[in-house]
Chain A
Amino acid sequence: MQLTLQEQGNWCVVTVEERRIDAAGAISFKEAMRNLTEGLTGPVILDLGQVDFVDSSGLGAIVAAMKTLGGKRRLHLAALTPNVERVFSLTRMDLVFPIHASVAAALLSDDS
């Protein structure tokens, strides 16, 4: 699973460079997220702009990634494509994650 990390001020922006986070890629996504965010203390934005498919295993992996951040840190999600947004809203996980229209919008948000 190809993820890239960029630090922007206080924020860490993780971009998923894949089309799918599905059952076949869920474990690899979790591991890559853990490796990238280990030791980081700032709030994290997950840029999903290139992802056009997330299934329930992928959703579970994104929930697990937020838990890995530890404490009360939320994982911010940005740039959800329509079918990915649908999975979050049907499972009510859109109430758990702060969701932003774009990375730029997420960077302007209040992380609280």
Chain B
Amino acid sequence: MDVPVGYDAVRVALLEWRRWIEGVNACSDLVSRAEIVLAEVLNNISEHGYVGRDGVPAPIALRCRMSVRGLHVMVVDQGWPVPADRCLAGGLPPVSLAAQDMDSLPEGGFGWCLIRELTCDLNLVSDGAGNRLSFVVPLCKPDDVADPAAPANQARPV
């Protein structure tokens, strides 16, 4: 599906995506994890003022398919290259638990952490054509599988 840029458009797209994934027999826990990841990815692109390189707004291409490993996702935009090294590695923003440090608590910087925590095979290619982010949201653990017909060996996270 093509996703227009903008937070409101992303919200609408995620609701449409939920209707799709609820029709492919994915377990509800995978749907919940994948929705977090997709929200972070699509909102990141929106947040950075994405327009196509020719300055004309271009939609983000979102491709999803289910396999025995989980939900395979490819997100393609036509924007300027993003710093792949910073996105694919890194930790949580620093947090101090001391009450007097409340004002220094981070209000952002969580997005890529969530993406990294909830995916595997995360890959980002930025080149002359734009940015292509791909990842897999693994299937649920066997005891979480909503579909009892699914063989247990297909349901293990990878």
Contacts and interface: CB of A to CB of B under 8 A. Distances in A.
Interface in A74-97: 74, 82-83, 86-87, 90-93, 95-96
Contacts, number: 82
A58 B47 CA distance: 14
A91 B33 CA distance: 14
A51 B32 CA distance: 13
A64 interface: yes
> Could you say which interface size class chain B belongs to?
20 to 34
Contact of B8 (A24, A61, A96): A24
A72 B100 contact: yes
Contacts of B35: 53, 83
Contacts of B111: 55-56
Nearest to B37: A55
Contact of B110 (A53, A56, A66, A72): A56
Contacts of B11: 20, 22-24
Contacts of A24: 7-8, 10-11
Given A55-B39, A67-B105, A92-B92, A22 B7 contact: yes
Interface of A: 20, 22-24, 53, 55-57, 59-61, 63-64, 66-67, 72, 74, 82-83, 86-87, 90-93, 95-96
Nearest first, the 3 A-B pairs at minimum CB distance are A60-B107, A56-B110, A24-B7
19 contacts: A22-B39, A22-B43, A23-B7, A23-B43, A24-B8, A24-B11, A55-B39, A55-B111, A57-B7, A60-B106, A61-B107, A64-B107, A67-B107, A72-B102, A74-B99, A90-B114, A92-B92, A93-B110, A96-B95
